[in-house]
Structure 1
Amino acid sequence: MILTEQSPTLTNPLQSIKPDLRVGFVLMNQFTLVPVAGLVDSLRFAADKSFRSEQIHCQWDWMTCDDQQVSASCGMVIYPTKPLNLWAQYDYIVIAGGLLGETRNPPNWLLEALREIHIARVPIIALCSGSFVLGKAGLLNGHRCAVHFTIRDEFCTLFPEATVIMDKSYVDDNGIITCPGGTAIDLASNLIRKHCGALRARKGLEYLLVQDKDKDTERAESSQDTFYEHARVQRAIVFMRANIDQALPMKAVAKAVGTNPRQLHREFVANTQDTPANYWRKLRLDHAKRLLINTSQNVTTIALSSGFSDASHFIVWFKKEYGETPVSYRKRRREVQMLSNEVSQGAFTDDPDL
């Protein structure tokens, strides 16, 4: 068909699809290219049905501090795709650092903005020397963070209240995620698994020629689960995860860790900025969301296996947390999958599952 001036404008129906994962990259000048490339290429493989690099399931934007081009430490020039806006409903904000000359003294307005989005519970990822930016913002005080061995001494001197980890590919401590460098593919894989499902995470690993680790081993090695310095809070979280399918009262959690509900409430709020009841509910909802993505179980079965007393209770809380019912969430994902299939029909037919 030949379009004329009178022809209606054709739009891509995929453009209206809500992505499962949105990431905003803030590229500091002289950033290290490899971890950024590993993270975004993993998102790219997980983003669509085939291999056209369409941003369907995952979306990402390139931003800089002054909305101007920046250079990677290898000399590659990158132009921003969007004006800087840390509040654009991103699931993660990535601070991509590199040469220390650019990250030792970040602008004060950026530090203040990072504090604000952390208070708003938007997870922040620091790649390479991006940890210096978070340290300057005071966001690493009392937190565990993964730091590259070449900058460890200076980092420890500047930020003595942070707990430096040297043997992890990344550390997630209460929404502050630090990755010392490398490819960042394991970090990306776990983000994709959490938001888009295991199949999409495996797709990226396969086509980047990276071996998929056992899920439990991967969690242990990469510190995916949030860690809190308060031993009792950490033990309570372990108990919650181990009993995710049990509708136990909070009294049982407190008893399991050797305290009473009131004291556990105080310790949770002080360490997680959340009550133990809300924290456990969010763990349950996240578990249920994974079951909706990766299984064909009905809503009632998922509700009960996630520790909710019944389906109605589960539906109310799911909608409150995610803005839609479990049925509409699952239906939307299936419609996305079907629409993506239609758009890519005839291409890459040798890969029907991805």
Structure 2
Amino acid sequence: MMVEQGSETSISVPVIKPELRVGFVLMNHFTLVPVAGLVDSLRFAADKSFRSQQVFCQWDWMTLNDQPIVASCGMPILPTKPLNLWAHYDYIVIAGGLLGETRNPPDWLLDALRDVHAANIPIIALCSGSFVLGKAGLLDGRRCALHFTLRDEFKERFPNSTAVIDKNYVDDRGIITCPGGTAIDLAASLIRRHCGAVRAQKGLEYLLVEERKESESTAPEGVVYLNDRVQRAIAFMRNNLDASLTLKAVADAVGTHPRQLHREFVANTQEPPANYWRKLRLDQARRLLVNTSQNITTIALACGFSDASHFILWFRKQYGETPYTFRKRRHEVERFDWHHERVGFDPEL
């Protein structure tokens, strides 16, 4: 319970499952700016007001030995949690910096990252964190966004990866690399994907950043697949989220047959095309639940589900709650934040 200032009225804090959880693994002498840009974007998206409460987004700071470390600028940082890559994170971030710390990471970390990737948990490498993923073999056959000063050494060490120096980030089949900078474009993409366009835009506005046009990004949602047919199939799926089309229609649109499309999807995305398309539909439905007042049936039909029951079934399987509960809890948080802004609530009291 929390109590209003100057009042005996009690207010229950609404309990809500975060839409985006990020575990930061900070390497010693990591670069501060990309980490700050990523987490500050999460902070603005994390609640409806500006109280920096970790409601919709949550994050933890971890180090390899659970001890304080120092950023490359000399700022000391304390971990907030013991190292645990399996704490139900949506993303694991490896924050690198000075190459002396990332050229030769410990073998146990490389093994752990391979296991995380095998479990289909996306991994983000900031700055020279890409060298850690390269040493783990996770960038073989993938594109990797690098700072131009690191390209030559990276290409020599990891010739099976394609170095890219003209992108703010690249998401290649669950391995996301960001060369540094502010990482705000990457953050906006993640927030849009998990929390909706409104909260992504909120962070961009308050960080005084103009959103890049889609044509300037690597691909829709920043995702890159080496197989051009899979990339085109995903674009077709995104453009037909409201249509009751079969996978044969998708295969026909990209010039192949369903069985071949299935093989290529599994090879590139680690899941069948039907599952991938359903997740796209559910992501869109979640955005509509957050950003519109449309009823459940209307949203179900707008996202290509045959009826509300079918939609509710898959939504619960994917997110662990019904669409109604998902929306209700967020409205409770909105009322909670609005009330505290109105009365000048102090969370420390």
TM-score (structure 1 length as normaliser): 0.90
SS of aligned partner of 1:52: coil
The equivalent residue for 1:269 is 266
In structure 2, C-alpha distance between the alignment counterparts of 1:303 and 1:99, rounded to whole Å = 49
Aligned residue for 2:7?
Answer: none
Q: Tell me how far apart the structure 1 counterparts of residues 103 and 269 of structure 2 sit (CA, whole Å).
A: 28
| CA deviations over 1:118-168 (Å, ceiling 9, x no partner) | 111111111000000111111111111110000000111111111111111
Task: Specify the SS of the correspondent of 1:138.
Answer: coil
* Separation of aligned partners in 2, 1:269 and 1:86: 25
1:260 is aligned, of 257, 261, 282, to 257
- 1:281 counterpart residue number: 278
Deviates more, 1:186-195 or 1:312-321: 186-195
Instruction: Report the counterpart of residue 6 of structure 1 in structure 2.
Output: none
In the other structure, the counterpart of 2:224 is 227
Deviations 1:223-255 (A, max 9, x none): 634221122222222221222211111111112
3-state SS of the aligned residue for 2:18?
coil
Letter in 2 for 1:237: I
* Alignment partners' CA distance in 1, 2:51 and 2:329: 21
**What CA distance in whole angstroms lies between the structure 2 residues aligned with 1:67 and 1:213?**
37
Matched with 2:107 is 108
What residue identity is the alignment partner of 1:290? R
* CA separation of 1:159 and 1:59: change in aligned 2, threshold 3 A: same
The alpha-carbon distance between structure 1 residues 177 and 14, as it changes in their structure 2 partners (threshold 3 A), is: farther
Indicate if the aligned counterparts of 2:189 and 2:222 stay in contact, CA closer than 8 A. no
Q: State the distance in 2 between where 1:14 and 1:108 align.
A: 43
Cα distance in structure 2, aligned partners of 1:272 and 1:323: 23
Which residue in the other structure is 2:6 paired with? none
Separation in structure 2 between the aligned mates of residue 202 and residue 150 of structure 1, nearest angstrom: 31
Distance 2:248 2:242 in 1: 16
1:18 counterpart SS class: coil
Query: Match of 1:24, SS?
Result: strand
TM alignment of 1:39-58, pairs within 5 A:
39-58=38-57
* Cα distance in structure 1, aligned partners of 2:171 and 2:12: 36
Q: In 2, Cα distance between the equivalents of 1:195 and 1:122?
A: 14
Match of 1:8 in 2: none
Identity of aligned pairs, percent?
A: 71
Q: When the two structures are aligned, how many residues end up with a matched partner?
A: 338
* Letter paired with 1:255: D
Which residue in the other structure is 2:290 paired with? 293
Letter aligned with residue 72 of structure 1: A
Q: Deviations over 1:262-287 (max 9, x none)?
A: 22212222222111111111111111
Q: How does 1:176-255 map to 2 (within 5 A)?
A: 176-214=175-213, 216-217=214-215, 220=217, 224-255=221-252
Alpha-carbon deviation of 1:203? 2.0
RMSD value, Cα: 2.1
| 2:320 is aligned with 1:323 | yes
- Structure 1 residue 183: Cα displacement: 0.6
Task: Give 5+ residue unaligned stretches, structure 1.
Answer: 4-10, 349-354
146-155 or 322-331, which moves further after superposition? 322-331
**What amino acid is aligned across from residue 273 of structure 2 in structure 1?**
P
2:35 maps to a residue whose letter is V
Alignment partner, residue 127 of structure 1: 126
| Aligned 8 A contact 2:113 2:136 in 1 | yes
Return the letter of the residue paired with 2:259.
R
